[in-house]
């Protein structure tokens, strides 16, 4: 794509001469009038010319007649009869191979500008080198065939290069262009040298006894890849600059929003095309990971730009609908997962045929499944980002709707109502007609003071779907929901031709056969596939905890060997090594004591909790497991300000026991178990919840749900007693951040606790 001019750069002055510069000679007098080229571009080119002279033993300036594509085509035409002796289509074969190379050369030469005078004109030098090879190929049949194959291989390496504008070109892209152009000349010089020595035919026969051509061509491929990667990186840089300009502009009007949308479409298409081409030409997993990282960086920027254009719709009416339907916003969890994700993981799926068929519509219902801790949530978050980027570049012809069933969020219901609310609110965000219809329904429900029935919610969802263009519906972690009641709804979704449905769950679920029958295709996150992601993760985790691991191969082989334990297990093991990253002896010791399973890892982490702190940690775990509303850091910190005397059942809230800052709570429970990202405190992973609920009664961290609800109720009563029961709670009280939560939820907790623990009843009577 063409880049806007860089304000810091200036164009070269126009040429004052109406004559084209003559071909330079080797004599000093012939070049004395030419100004010394400035480094690095001119210097890089002169170095390439020097290598050509050394390889070919030829000064390209003596072949000044071959100065353009037209001159080369004319040379082929003049000797067409000679080429036909070798092959009936000899001349045509040469022309077809040279044309794409010539176009790329013209593109790359634009970096110098018309007015930049060089001792050896890049255009003339390259075409002269091509002419030298063609002249020599007239003599020997094997050389002719080898030359055709060599040009074909060059074109294969160079086909990812697209036209770019020289005006305002980024400096990094200029250097990459000159290096690639220079390597083209070097390859031509190597071929000419092998022609002279009679060794070129060995390359054609695939004997590879002459390594000069293959190695030069490999280097050409590397420079071409680097050039394309630089284009992508520069594109991202320009996008970020453009976004900053647009955000700071006072003229943020509709026409600029439309301009931004057009940019999104064009840049996203280029980014995707770039990555697709690189996937076809690169075999190195490291190179592919780098390529995907660039693509995802561009996608993130584009989605941010798209979000800016939607800001007006976020306020007012959409907020009313979300509050009314109690929208279960999963963006915090998804953003947290994406933030911790290593770029490039999941490439096997995102760049695979199955996902490609899902996007194209050939596969309409896709089920992704694997064991706990295999990285499903991370892969699904990356997939959602990919689908959102696809929709952002589709001119509004498709929309991505997502829902995450999250048992680590005790405030969210894992049922049909939560799913319907999520889908309806997102449709209201994306579509004007959906927003209007749902506002009318809200007014019918006492202006949002009553909830619609499930039947009514489904009725309006189907109405909106029937009026929709294509919809991607992504539902993550079905195994954490009341899946039996969702199956009929999922079947109904899958019946709509406009809907592409992507679902994920653990492999072993009660309704497994229902999901098998529902899906057109399945992707099982097997040990082999998870191992590939673990290897990518380990490669990127070169600097663990800011210190470079000196025995990277040992760490990688040890953790990869146990990859059947899952991706989460591997990531936790790497975090465990962080404190000793610079101490090889300690690393070896740690590797010898790796936990065998994810459960073993959790048990080891719990065993390190000081005995005096176990009861406090158990109580905090209970709040994270069963709280009916997410806890902020300030709210969670308040839970440490209670004294629990063994002589009485009721705790006492004491502000003097508060932590000095909310950040101090992060040292109480390891991040292995708890996520402190953003302002919300939650369990770090669904596997943490599973493990805590399965702990035996002999464990100091064993949690009985009903007894936990009793403890939580008593803490709520103690807090309300301290604050004063009559204090209004509907507005946040900065002095008592937990007030709103306990006032809103204490009766719910009491109801749960009284089901089995009748000893709570007397405490409730005393409170009332």
Q: Degrees (nearest 5) of the Cα angle 627, 649, 651?
A: 60
**In this predicted structure, what is the pLDDT of residue 250?**
42
Alpha helices, H only, 597-685? 598-607, 614-626, 633-638
Could you tell me if 45 and 118 are in contact, meaning their C-beta atoms sit under 8 angstroms apart? Answer: yes
Distance CA 34, CA 358 (A): 59
Contact between 130 and 188 (Cβ < 8 Å): yes
What CA–CA distances, in Å, run from 530 to 113, 285, 566, 744? 50, 15, 7, 43
Answer whether 337's CB lies under 8 Å from 370's CB.
Answer: no
- pLDDT value at position 193? 75
Residue ranges of E strands in 557-662: 631-632, 642-643, 652-653
Provide CB contacts within 8 A for 185, sequence distance 6+.
48, 49, 51, 52, 125, 126, 129
Could you give the domains of the chain? 38-207 (no CATH), 310-525 (3.40.50.300), 536-594 (no CATH), 608-767 (no CATH)
Cβ proximity of 321 and 425 under 8 Å: yes
**Per 3-state DSSP, what percentage of the chain is helix, strand, and coil (rounded to 5)?**
60, 5, 30
The DSSP symbol for 15 reads P
Say if CB 177 and CB 230 are below 8 A apart. Answer: no
HEC string of 135-193?
Answer: HHHCCCHHHHHHHHHHHHHHHHHHCCCCCCCCCCCCHHHHHHHHHHHHHHHHHHHHHHH
The residue with tokens 């409730």 is 764
Cβ contacts of 639-643, under 8 Å, gap ≥ 24:
639/715, 639/738, 640/616, 640/665, 640/668, 642/715, 642/718
Hey, what are 360's tokens?
């194209």
Question: Encoding tokens for residue 287?
Answer: 């190179």
DSSP structure class, residue 249: -
Strands, E assignment, 534-622: 543-544, 547-548
How high is the pLDDT of residue 411?
58
Q: Which residues contact 258 (CB under 8 A, 6 or more apart)?
A: none
Q: In what order do the strands lie in the sheet with 470-476?
A: 398-404, 470-476, 499-506, 365-370, 521-524
CA separation for the pair 540, 609 (Å, rounded) = 31
Separation of alpha carbons 403 and 423, rounded Å: 7
* Mean pLDDT split into 10-residue runs, the chain, 768 residues: 36 33 34 41 77 78 68 75 66 74 70 51 76 69 67 65 53 70 77 69 45 59 64 58 52 57 66 71 69 76 71 72 88 79 85 93 94 86 91 81 80 83 93 92 85 93 92 93 90 93 90 92 88 74 48 58 67 74 70 81 92 94 90 92 91 92 83 82 88 95 93 94 72 82 90 82 84
Strand-pair partners of 643:
652
Please say whether the beta carbons of 330 and 422 come within 8 A.
yes
3-state secondary structure of 204: helix
Q: Strand, helix or coil at 504?
A: strand
pTM for the predicted model, two decimal places: 0.60
Q: Is 20 helix (H, G, I), strand (E, B) or coil?
A: coil
Closest to 482 (Cα-Cα) out of 418, 409, 411, 410:
418
Beta strands 652-653 and 642-643, pairing class: antiparallel
Structure tokens at 103: 């176009």
Residue 370: φ, ψ to 5°: -175, 180
Residue whose C-alpha is closest to residue 190's, from 139, 156, 146: 146
The closest alpha carbon to 203, from 252, 148, 155, 243, belongs to 148
pLDDT of residue 236: 55
Q: Pick from 226, 281, 236: which is nearest to 3 by CA?
A: 236
């Amino acid at each position: 794509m063409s880049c806007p001019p860089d304000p810091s750069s200036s164009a070269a002055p126009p040429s004052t001469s109406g004559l084209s510069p003559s071909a330079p000679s080797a004599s000093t007098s012939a070049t004395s009038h030419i100004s010394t080229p400035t480094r690095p571009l001119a210097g890089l080119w002169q170095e390439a010319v020097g290598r050509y002279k050394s390889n070919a033993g030829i000064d390209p300036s003596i072949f000044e007649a071959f100065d353009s594509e037209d001159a080369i085509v004319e040379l082929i035409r003049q000797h067409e009869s000679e080429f036909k002796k070798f092959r009936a289509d000899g001349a045509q074969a040469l022309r077809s191979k040279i044309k794409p190379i010539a176009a790329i050369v013209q593109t790359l030469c634009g970096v110098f500008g018309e007015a930049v005078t060089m001792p050896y004109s890049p255009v003339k030098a390259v075409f002269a080198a091509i002419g030298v090879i063609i002249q020599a190929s007239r003599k020997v049949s094997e050389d002719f065939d080898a030359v055709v194959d060599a040009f074909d291989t060059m074109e294969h390496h160079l086909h990812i290069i697209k036209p770019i504008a020289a005006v305002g070109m980024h400096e990094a892209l200029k250097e990459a262009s000159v290096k690639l152009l220079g390597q083209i000349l070097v390859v031509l010089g190597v071929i000419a040298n092998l022609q002279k020595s009679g060794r070129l035919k060995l390359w054609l026969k695939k004997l590879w006894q002459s390594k000069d051509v293959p190695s030069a061509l490999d280097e050409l491929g590397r420079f071409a890849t680097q050039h394309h990667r630089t284009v992508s990186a520069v594109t991202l840089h320009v996008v970020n600059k453009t976004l900053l300009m647009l955000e700071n502009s006072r003229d943020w009007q509709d026409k600029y929003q439309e301009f931004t949308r057009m940019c999104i479409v064009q840049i996203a298409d280029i980014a995707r095309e770039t990555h697709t081409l690189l996937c076809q030409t690169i075999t190195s997993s490291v190179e592919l990971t780098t390529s995907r990282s660039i693509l995802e960086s561009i996608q993130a920027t584009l989605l941010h730009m798209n979000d800016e254009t939607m800001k007006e719709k976020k306020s007012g009416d959409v907020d009313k609908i979300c509050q009314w339907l109690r929208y279960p916003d999963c963006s915090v969890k998804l953003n947290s997962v994406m933030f911790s994700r290593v770029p490039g993981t999941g490439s096997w799926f995102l760049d695979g045929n199955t996902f490609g068929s899902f996007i194209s519509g050939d596969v309409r219902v896709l089920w992704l499944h694997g064991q706990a801790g295999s990285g499903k949530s991370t892969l699904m978050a990356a997939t959602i980002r990919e689908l959102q980027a696809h929709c952002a570049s589709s001119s509004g012809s498709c929309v991505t709707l997502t829902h995450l069933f999250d048992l680590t969020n005790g405030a969210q219901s894992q049922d049909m109502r939560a799913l319907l609310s999520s889908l309806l609110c997102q449709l209201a965000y994306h579509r004007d007609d959906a927003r209007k219809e749902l506002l009318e329904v809200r007014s019918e429900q006492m202006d949002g003071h009553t909830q619609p029935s499930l039947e009514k919610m489904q009725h309006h969802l189907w109405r909106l779907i029937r009026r929709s263009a294509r919809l991607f519906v992504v539902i993550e972690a079905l195994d954490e929901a009341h899946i039996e009641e969702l199956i009929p709804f999922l079947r109904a979704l899958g019946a709509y031709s406009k809907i592409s449905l992507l679902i994920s769950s653990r492999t072993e679920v009660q309704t497994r056969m229902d999901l098998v029958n529902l899906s057109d295709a399945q992707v099982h996150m097997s040990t082999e596939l998870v191992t590939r992601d673990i290897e990518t993760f380990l490669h990127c985790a070169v600097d663990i905890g800011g210190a470079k691991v000196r025995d990277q191969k040992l760490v990688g082989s040890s953790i990869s060997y146990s990859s059947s334990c899952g991706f989460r297990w591997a990531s936790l093991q790497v975090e465990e090594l962080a404190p000793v990253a610079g101490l090889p002896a300690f690393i070896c010791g740690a590797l010898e004591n790796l936990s065998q399973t994810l459960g073993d890892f959790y048990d080891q982490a719990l065993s390190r909790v000081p005995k005096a702190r176990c009861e406090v940690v158990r109580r905090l775990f209970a709040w994270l497991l069963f709280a009916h509303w997410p806890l902020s850091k300030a709210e969670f910190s308040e839970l440490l300000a209670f004294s629990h005397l063994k002589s009485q059942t009721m705790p006492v809230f004491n502000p003097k026991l508060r932590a000095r800052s909310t950040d101090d709570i992060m040292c109480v429970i390891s991040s292995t178990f708890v996520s402190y990202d953003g302002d919300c405190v939650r369990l770090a992973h669904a596997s943490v919840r599973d493990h805590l609920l399965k702990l035996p009664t002999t464990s100091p961290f064993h949690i009985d749900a009903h007894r936990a609800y009793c403890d939580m109720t008593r803490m709520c009563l103690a807090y309300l007693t301290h604050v004063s029961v009559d204090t209004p709670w509907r507005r946040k009280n900065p002095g008592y951040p937990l007030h709103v939560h306990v006032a809103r939820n204490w009766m719910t907790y009491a109801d749960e606790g009284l089901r089995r623990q009748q000893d709570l009843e007397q405490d409730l009577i005393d409170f009332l």
